[in-house]
């Protein structure tokens, strides 16, 4: 199905839709753990998850990415307090990639990572347990846990390395990262989340876990146009105002960079996929991560056309009904 936005249109092959009719899991709230590096779009994703009774947010683990770890762990708590959910456990995870120096994105998200909206310092505590330990413990304790990975995959990879047994216990890893047709947004070949820690991404894609990827090919169709920012403002709530302020802040960078009608709202696509899978379509393919090349480090080498005999290891989403997504998301956020 075609993404209904004023931005780029999809000219690739016909895709098939993914709708879960045969899930072995009980029809109750789906337990999720959000691993994140907030980031304005991460913040919207967290709010969407907290507004959705279909999802049970068991914890949030922060990772260094868009900004350093002290800021991402504070930002996650700010968002929980904004949503009126100081009960959510927030854990600080890894403060740097596995093998390379940390690359951050203040040029997109501002010095705090949440520039645009003025939020007070969080009052809710940061949990003593580290983020990696929280992932391991929850994967073992919570039946059917889904990990929603919105940033670099350092925490998730480290947890899988320390506790290989959790790979068979995790229901699914749904992540925002990578690209195929859109290629890169931080280098000519790489998307930011994968580029920050390609070694971690390589480990996750080799883990044997069920993986679904929301790449730039999808998120670049989910644009926060002026009309959609106005719809957030028209919610006439503190949350609607914060989202309008955030999206208005970072859309300036993306509009200048891409010449599009608005900025991509990347991370909410992960939550949207869990809530409304019928809006998304893609293929189950092989995805490998380049870690060595100076030119293409962090590239997701997605075998979209099946030209290799490498086994499929991920569902790579290629399209979305963006208009329906925004209508449902805006309506859902009014519940907070």
Give the pair of three-digit tokens for residue 255: 């509009």
Tokens for 106, please give them: 């203040």
Q: Identify the burial level of 141 via C-beta atoms within 10 angstroms of its C-beta, where 0-12 means exposed, 13-18 middle and 19 or more buried.
A: exposed
Tell me the sheet residues that pair with 301: 288
| Annotation marks residue 21 as catalytic | no
In the beta sheet, which residues pair with residue 91? Answer: 61
Residues 6 or more apart whose Cβ sits within 8 Å of residue 186: 103, 105, 192, 195, 298
DSSP state, 127? P
Alpha-carbon gap, residue 54 to 328, rounded angstroms: 14
In the set 91, 109, 220, 266, the catalytic residue is 266
Handedness of CA 235, 239, 245, 247 (dihedral sign): negative
| Spatial distance between the Cα atoms of 232 and 224, rounded to a whole number of angstroms | 10
Residues designated catalytic: 266
């Amino acid at each position: 199905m075609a993404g209904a936005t004023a931005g780029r249109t999809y000219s690739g092959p016909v895709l098939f839709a993914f709708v879960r009719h045969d899930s072995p899991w009980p029809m109750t709230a789906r337990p999720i753990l959000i691993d994140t590096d907030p980031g304005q779009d991460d913040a919207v994703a967290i709010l969407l998850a907290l507004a959705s009774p279909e999802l049970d947010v068991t914890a949030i683990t922060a990772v260094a990415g868009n900004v350093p770890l002290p800021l991402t762990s504070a930002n996650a708590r700010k968002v929980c307090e904004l949503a009126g959910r100081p009960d959510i456990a927030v854990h600080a995870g890894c403060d740097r990639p596995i093998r390379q120096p940390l690359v951050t994105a203040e040029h997109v998200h501002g010095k705090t990572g949440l520039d645009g909206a003025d939020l007070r310092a969080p009052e809710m505590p940061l949990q003593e347990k580290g983020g990696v330990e929280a992932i391991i413990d929850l994967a073992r304790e919570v039946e059917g846990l889904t990990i929603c990975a919105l940033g670099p995959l350092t925490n998730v990879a480290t947890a899988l390395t320390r506790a290989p047994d959790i790979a068979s216990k995790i229901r699914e890893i749904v992540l925002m990262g990578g690209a195929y047709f859109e290629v890169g947004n931080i280098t000519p070949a790489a998307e930011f989340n994968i580029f920050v820690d390609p070694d971690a991404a390589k480990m996750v894609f080799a883990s044997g876990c069920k993986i679904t990827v929301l790449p730039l090919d999808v998120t670049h169709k989910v644009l926060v146009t002026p009309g959609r920012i106005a719809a957030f403002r028209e919610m006439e709530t503190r949350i609607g105002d914060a989202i309008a302020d955030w999206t208005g802040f970072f859309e300036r960078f993306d509009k200048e960079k891409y010449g599009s009608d608005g900025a991509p709202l990347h991370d909410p696509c992960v939550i949207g996929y869990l809530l409304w899978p019928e809006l998304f379509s893609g293929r189950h393919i092989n995805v490998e991560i380049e870690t060595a090349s100076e030119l293409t480090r962090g590239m997701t080498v997605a075998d979209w056309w099946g030209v290799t005999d490498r086994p499929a290891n991920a569902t790579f989403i290629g399209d979305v009904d963006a208009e329906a997504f925004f209508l449902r998301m805006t309506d859902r956020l009014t519940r907070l």
